[in-house]
C-alpha cells in the first residue's frame, strides 16, 4: 500500500501499473524522464575528451531564455522530471540564472552540470536561490598541473576547488565528476580523496566515451588493459573504505566491457537532448548518424517531436534490430547498445554495438582498446567565427 518505487526500465510505460489519472498517451509510446539541455557550446576549457560534436554551434544560433522556458514547460507536461543544464559550459550564458529559475518553475529537478569556470560565489548563490537542486562539478585530475594541462586552461583546478567549497557551504548537494583516461586513471584514489575532502556526497568515475572530440583523441586517451584492471580493483577498495562518507559511481569503460552500455535506457524511450540551437536529439551524439532528420523546438512543440520526428522513430523499440540482437534475450536490457557507436565503428547505425562480445566485429574493438599513442591532445576549440 505504501510505495515509493524506482521508475522501472521495462518497456511498459508507467501507465501500466494502475494508470489512473494520467493524461492519454498513445499505446506503446514511452514517456521521457530526463532532458539534457545543452544551453551553449561555448566553454573556456578545451578538454580533449569532450563529447560535444566537432561542429560546435556559435552564440548567434543559441535559443533565448524565453524559448528554454517554454521547452521546460513542454518537457514537464510530457513527463520529464529532471533537467540537466549542460553545455559547453552553461555558465557562459549570462542568463543562466533566469534559465535555471524557469526550469524549477516548470517543476523540474534542476541539475547543473558545470566545469565551474565562470561561476563566482555570488552567482552560485543566486543559482541556489533560483532553485538549482544539485551541482555536478567536473575535475580533470587530483594534481593542479596535470588537471590544468588536460583542461587546456591555467588556474582551472584552483578555481574549481574554491567553487566546490562554496557550493558545499551553501548546502547544495555536490557530485564531483572525474573523467578518467590514460593520463589520470592511475590517480583515481587521489581524485576520490579530493572529492571527499571537498565535501561531495557523490563522485562519479566517468571513463571517457569516444564521441566527438574524444574520438579524435582516442589513441591519446585510451588507457591500457592493465590500467583498467587496476582501476577496477582500486574502485572496489575505495567503495569499502569510503562507504559511509561518499557514494562512488563507476562503470566499466566501454571498449573494455563484454556487453555494451544500454543506450540511455533505450533510444527515444527515457530521455531527450536539446542542442544550443534547439534541435532535439535522442542522444547528445546522434547527429553523427547520417540521414537522420532532427526537428527543432523552434518549429514544433516538444511532444510532437518526441512522438513523430523521424530521428526519434528511427531506433525506437526493437523492430529495427539485426542479428545477433534481434533474437538476443538481452535486447530489452541494453537495446543492442549504442547506435552512435555502432555507426562510428561499423558504418551501420542498425548494427550490434561492436562493444558487445557477441558482435561479429568485436575483435576490432579489442584492437582499438590496445592502441595507445602518446601524441599531443587536439583540444576542443570553437571555430574563430563562432563567436565564443
Partner 1 sequence: MLETGDRHSLGPEARPRLRRGVRLQHSPAHGGYVLLAPERVFKADAIAAAILARCTGEATLSAIVDDLATLYGAPRERVLGDVSALLAGLAEKKLLEW
Beta bridge partners of 180: 207
**Binding mask 30-49 vs partner 1 (x if CB under 8 A, - otherwise)?**
-x-x----------------
Nearer to ligand SF4, 139 or 286 (CB): 286
Nearer to partner 1, 6 or 290 (CB): 6
Q: Does 246 bind partner 1 (CB under 8 A)?
A: yes
- Cell 560535444 identifies what position? 52
Q: Does 290 bind partner 1 (CB under 8 A)?
A: no
CB of 282 to ligand SF4, least distance (A): 7
231 binds, among ligand SF4, partner 1, none (CB under 5 to 8 A by kind): none
Q: Does 81 bind partner 1 (CB under 8 A)?
A: yes
Give just the sign of the alpha carbon dihedral 138, 140, 144, 145.
Answer: negative
Among 95, 98, 133, 307, binds partner 1 (CB under 8 A): 133
CB of 20 to partner 1, least distance (A): 7
Interface stretch with partner 1, choices 5-13, 114-122, 327-335, 378-386 (CB under 8 A): 5-13
Q: Are 45 and 117 in contact (CB under 8 A)?
A: yes
CB of 337 to ligand SF4, least distance (A): 5
Q: Does 172 bind partner 1 (CB under 8 A)?
A: yes
Helix (H/G/I), strand (E/B), else coil: 272: strand
User: Dihedrals φ, ψ of 190, to 5°?
Assistant: -65, -35
Give CA separation, 283 vs 21, 248, 267, 272, 348, in Å: 30, 25, 8, 6, 17
Sequence-separated (6 or more) residues with CB below 8 Å from residue 317: 11, 28
Q: Are 295 and 280 in contact (CB under 8 A)?
A: yes
Give CA separation, 6 vs 9, 157, 250, 257, in Å: 9, 36, 20, 26
Q: Does 5 bind partner 1 (CB under 8 A)?
A: yes
Helix (H/G/I), strand (E/B), else coil: 73: helix
31 binds, among ligand SF4, partner 1, none (CB under 5 to 8 A by kind): partner 1
Beta bridge partners of 274: 37, 280
Q: Which of residues 107-126 bind partner 1 (CB under 8 A)?
A: 107, 109, 111
- Residue 19 has a CB neighbour count (10 Å cut-off) of 10
**387/269 Cα distance (integer angstroms):** 35
Nearer to partner 1, 4 or 233 (CB): 4
Q: For residue 94, count CB atoms less than 10 angstroms from its CB and return exposed for 0-12, middle for 13-18, buried for 19 or more.
A: exposed
Residues in the site for ligand SF4, rule: CB under 6 A?
A: 211, 259-261, 263-264, 283, 285-286, 324-325, 328, 330-331, 334, 336-341, 352-353, 356, 358
Applying CB under 8 A, the residues found at the interface with partner 1 are 1-7, 14, 19-23, 31, 33, 76-82, 107, 109, 111, 133-134, 136, 171-173, 175, 201-202, 244-247, 249
Amino acid at each position: 500500500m505504501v510505495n515509493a518505487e524506482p521508475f522501472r526500465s521495462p518497456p511498459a510505460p508507467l501507465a501500466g501499473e494502475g494508470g489512473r489519472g494520467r493524461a492519454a498517451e498513445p499505446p506503446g509510446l514511452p514517456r521521457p524522464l530526463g532532458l539534457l539541455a545543452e544551453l551553449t557550446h561555448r566553454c573556456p576549457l578545451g578538454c580533449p575528451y569532450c563529447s560535444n560534436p566537432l561542429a560546435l554551434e556559435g552564440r548567434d544560433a543559441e535559443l533565448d531564455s524565453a524559448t528554454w522556458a517554454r521547452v521546460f514547460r513542454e518537457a514537464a507536461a510530457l513527463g520529464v522530471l529532471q533537467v540537466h543544464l549542460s553545455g559547453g559550459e552553461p555558465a557562459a550564458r549570462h542568463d543562466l540564472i533566469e534559465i535555471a529559475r524557469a526550469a524549477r518553475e516548470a517543476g523540474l529537478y534542476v541539475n547543473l552540470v558545470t566545469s565551474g569556470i565562470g561561476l563566482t560565489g555570488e552567482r552560485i548563490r543566486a543559482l541556489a536561490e533560483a532553485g538549482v537542486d544539485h551541482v555536478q562539478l567536473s575535475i580533470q585530475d587530483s594534481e593542479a598541473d596535470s588537471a590544468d594541462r588536460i583542461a587546456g586552461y591555467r588556474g582551472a583546478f584552483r578555481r574549481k576547488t574554491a567553487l566546490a567549497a562554496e557550493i558545499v557551504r551553501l548546502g547544495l548537494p555536490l557530485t564531483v565528476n572525474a573523467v578518467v583516461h590514460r593520463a589520470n586513471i592511475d590517480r583515481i584514489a587521489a581524485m576520490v580523496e579530493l572529492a571527499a575532502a571537498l565535501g561531495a556526497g557523490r563522485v562519479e568515475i566517468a571513463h571517457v566515451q569516444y564521441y566527438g572530440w574524444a574520438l579524435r583523441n582516442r589513441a591519446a586517451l585510451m588507457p591500457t588493459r592493465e590500467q583498467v584492471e587496476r582501476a577496477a580493483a582500486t574502485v572496489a577498495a575505495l567503495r569499502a573504505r569510503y562507504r559511509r562518507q561518499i557514494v562512488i559511481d563507476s562503470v566499466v569503460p566501454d571498449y573494455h566491457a563484454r556487453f555494451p552500455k544500454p543506450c540511455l535506457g533505450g533510444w527515444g524511450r527515457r530521455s531527450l537532448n536539446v542542442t544550443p540551437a534547439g534541435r532535439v536529439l535522442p542522444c547528445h551524439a546522434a547527429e553523427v548518424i547520417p540521414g537522420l532528420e532532427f526537428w527543432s523546438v523552434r518549429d514544433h512543440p516538444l511532444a510532437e517531436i518526441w512522438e513523430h520526428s523521424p530521428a526519434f522513430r528511427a531506433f525506437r523499440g526493437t523492430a529495427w534490430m539485426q542479428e545477433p540482437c534481434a533474437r538476443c534475450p538481452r535486447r530489452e536490457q541494453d537495446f543492442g547498445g549504442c547506435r552512435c557507436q555502432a555507426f562510428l565503428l561499423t558504418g551501420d547505425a542498425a548494427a550490434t554495438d561492436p562493444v558487445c562480445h557477441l558482435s561479429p566485429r568485436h575483435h576490432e574493438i579489442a584492437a582499438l582498446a590496445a592502441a595507445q599513442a602518446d601524441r599531443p591532445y587536439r583540444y576542443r576549440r570553437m571555430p574563430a567565427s563562432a563567436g565564443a
